[in-house]
Amino acid sequence: MVTFLAGGTGTPKLLRGSETIFPPEETPVVCNTGDDIEMSGVLVCPDIDTVLFSEGGLLDHETWWGIDEDTTVTHDEIQRLADAAGVPAGPRYLPEEAQTSGRDIARFRRFSGVAEFMQLGDRDRAIHVTRTGLLDERRGLTTVTATLADALGVDRPVLPMSDGPVATIVHTDEGAMHFQEFWVHRRADPDVERVEFRGVEHAEPTDAVLDALDSPVVIGPSNPVTSLGPMLAMDAFRSALESTPVVAVSPFVGDRVFSGPAGELMAATGHDPSTAGVADAYPFADVFVLDEDDGTALDRPIVRTDTRLGDPEDGLRVCRAVREAFEAIGVEVP
Ligand code: GDP
């Protein structure tokens, strides 16, 4: 058994096509929850949902978020009403005291539904309504995620990194904002000064996550700051990685990122925005899978392949390289 760690793009892409090498039922995926927000009264978990939708055969593979061919009737009407009322577009945080007084899991990341700054599809929203209802019935996020996985016919254990709230707050030259405001609304435009994982001092990885981290771990190509950062900020998570074999797939080719704000965020948090910077950020990684065009030399073993991901054949090719990487450090994976 191996365990994958995931944000919302790179690892879900890697898992597509991985099944013949790493059978889903025996291959848990631990998902970042720092990107989650409460908006329009529901908890949205973008990284968990991308994995659930991808594994359940529902994902929109153009965007790598949301449900394929979903409609947006409710969202469009919410925006129309806001427009008609003269409400400016953009995120609308709930007042300070409401950030900590509502559902515990949504602390520090609570937005109203007015003008709904993130697009939620209609079927997508049904997932969030169900998730939030189950949470309100006092079930934990891990249990709720397992229920949703069952409902979507997903065989893989999909594990939130924690059942407690951790909110990724980006401090910029224009003030502090939740990662979703920074990325979805501002398209990573403000200059980043630092990244905070608010609440992490009280958060713990769940028992299910700690069990999964007893197995060899694969860090798929992920944003080291905003996808892995919240996991690594939990001491117990980090120590678990220090005591198990870890293969990391680079989200860079040298200093070129495939997509997203990983470069800016790494530079702002004191890491070189490159494969070398990823290796510095992951001192516990034992071996790396790099792109065949990535000439970076590292102080650890390297397996090279074409790391471009998208189709199932790509996932299969890179998973073969992951298996080879484990073999290079003497770890047999079936
Ligand atoms: P987020 O949750 O959507 O922000 O994203 P993740 O943490 O899952 O991953 C983002 C990283 O995945 C980015 O740094 C990209 O460079 C990387 N990525 C996206 N597509 C590919 C790909 O096809 N191959 C590789 N190797 N990395 C990719």
Mean pLDDT of 185-197: 96
* pLDDT surpasses 90 at 333: no
pLDDT tens string 7-26 = 999 999 999 999 999 999 99
Q: How far is the CA of 1 from the centre of ligand 1 (A)?
A: 24
- From the list 244, 189, 282, the residue with the least C-alpha distance to 1 is 244
pLDDT tens string 194-226 = 999 999 999 999 999 999 999 999 999 999 999
Question: Any alpha helices (H) in 154-285, and if so which ranges?
Answer: 179-180, 207-212, 229-232, 235-242, 262-268, 275-281
Whole-number pLDDT of residue 63: 94
Q: In a mutational test of the pocket of ligand 1, which residue from 50, 222, 307 has the highest number of ligand atoms less than 8 Å from its CB?
A: 222
In angstroms, the CA 329 to CA 35 distance is 33
| Three-state DSSP class for residue 108 | coil
Whole-number pLDDT of residue 258: 96
Atom of ligand 1 nearest to the CA of 261: 14
* pLDDT surpasses 90 at 192: yes
pLDDT tens string 297-330 = 999 999 999 999 999 999 999 999 999 999 999 9
Q: Which amino acid is at 334?
A: P
SS3 content of the chain, % helix, strand, coil (to 5): 35, 20, 45
Whole-number pLDDT of residue 334: 72
Q: What is the mean pLDDT of the chain?
A: 97
pLDDT tens string 219-257 = 999 999 999 999 999 999 999 999 999 999 999 999 999
With a Cβ cut-off of 6 Å, ligand 1 is lined by 7-11, 13, 47, 221-223, 226-227, 249, 251, 257-260, 262, 307-309
Whole-number pLDDT of residue 314: 98
pLDDT tens string 100-116 = 999 999 999 999 999 99
pLDDT tens string 55-83 = 999 999 999 999 999 999 999 999 999 99
DSSP state of 87: P
